[in-house]
Amino acid sequence: MRKSGAVVAYSNKKSLLFILKACEGADKLLTEKGEREFTNFVREITEKVENPLDVLDYYALVKKLFKALKSELGIEKAGILIYDIENSYPLHKEEGLERLLYLIESETVWEKPVLAYSKCLEDTPILKIYDLDRNEAYEPLAV
């Protein structure tokens, strides 16, 4: 049973990077229900925004959806961070995934969120990465 961890989703088309950190119950993020709820959460946001800064216009919605996600999965101590990856973290090729993993693990990307709402401030390992444009998921060890 994994206590803490993070799942990551990104879309180059929308230039958005989502990091959901859980400081408790991270194993719930890897269940079929957890994966479905997380991808539905990020898709609902990416469908509404035209550019990364639009996320700020949807702050109340993001907060509401995030609370519903935590409640649905039974996770209380968690956080969501949303980033603009257009210029800083482009992920066009597979080596881009390795770069993303490195940036997240080295906490380079943690410094520049467009929106952050978190009760989980601890370092957490990356458990899974979702490419929203290709509908693919990657395990960090496979990257």
| Dist CA 39 CA 29 (whole Å) | 10
pTM over 0.85: no
pLDDT tens for 48-106 read 999 888 988 999 999 999 999 999 999 999 999 888 876 555 555 555 666 666 666 56
| Dist CA 61 CA 41 (whole Å) | 10
| Dist CA 54 CA 72 (whole Å) | 26
| Dist CA 118 CA 110 (whole Å) | 12
* Count of beta carbons in the 10 Å neighbourhood of residue 14: 23
Q: Where are the domains of the chain?
A: 5-142
| Dist CA 78 CA 70 (whole Å) | 8
pLDDT tens for 21-58 read 999 999 999 999 999 999 999 999 999 999 888 988 99
